[in-house]
Amino acid sequence: MLDSKGFDLWADNYDISVEISDDDGAYPFAGYKKVLNYIFGEIMAGSGKTLLDIGFGTGILTKRLYDKGFAIYGQDFSGEMLNIAKDKMPEAKLFQGDFTLGLVSELKQRQYDAIIATYSLHHIVDEEKPAFIKELMQLLNEHGKIYIGDVAFSTRKEMEKCKETYQEEWDDEEHYFVVEELKGNFPSLSFIPFSHCAGVIVLEHG
Ligand SMILES: C[S@@+](CC[C@H](N)C(=O)[O-])C[C@H]1O[C@@H](n2cnc3c(N)ncnc32)[C@H](O)[C@@H]1O
């Protein structure tokens, strides 16, 4: 699994590399643009204007919402990713910090209309995901929603099938979402698949 230095090194060619992987239709980024487009559309259709992005990277999605007038807040542990995102969104409130240690205090001072995390929360081990997601839920406004777009599977069986197909490329150090298991903690979540290995998990306030 990449640490913050690994993401620093990836930052400059991140945008092009995810695009190529998505266009190839291959794990892990097959469906990447559809995932981001879906979240963009859902957030634009809502009435809120304040957004928190967990693991914003180069800001591919958040920049689009920034340009539409959203107030953007975010946390990422890579200084290089942060520099690139900050250049694109000078007014955004972006903080450096490891989310496996929780959110930085500045981000816990307010409520958000939407919280997004795309291709980032698979860096949290499965046992710790529910507690972190519950922490995020506390920060939602009354009608707010969390959108997790990531490598994700409806069942563990589907994930095992993907792992079998991509033996060489499979990253055993990442912890992908298995929706049937996450539902044990969040029975009302919804899941919209966009490729054989990716989809969007939506959780509502309360
Ligand atoms: C694959 S990139 C996704 C970036 C962006 N959200 C996107 O959809 O293109 C993962 C991002 O999460 C960040 N990240 C990974 N683990 C993290 C951690 N433990 N704490 C904070 N940020 C982390 C990385 O620095 C990187 O910017």
* Residues flanking ligand 1, CB < 6 Å: 7, 55-57, 60-61, 76-78, 81, 98-100, 118-120, 123
What pLDDT does residue 2 have?
82
The greatest distance separating any two alpha carbons of the chain, rounded to the nearest whole angstrom, comes to: 44
Q: Ligand 1: distance of its center to the CA of 59 in Å?
A: 10
What pLDDT does residue 133 have?
98
Mean pLDDT is lowest, of 16-20, 60-64, 84-88, 195-199, for 16-20
Atom of ligand 1 nearest to the CA of 32: 8
Q: What is the pTM of this model?
A: 0.97
Asked if pLDDT for residue 205 goes beyond 90, the answer is no
Q: Would you place residue 206 in the very low, low, confident or very high pLDDT band (cuts 50, 70, 90)?
A: low
Asked if pLDDT for residue 21 goes beyond 90, the answer is no
Domain residue spans of the chain: 4-204
The mean pLDDT value of the chain amounts to 96
Which CATH number describes the domain made up of 4-204? 3.40.50.150
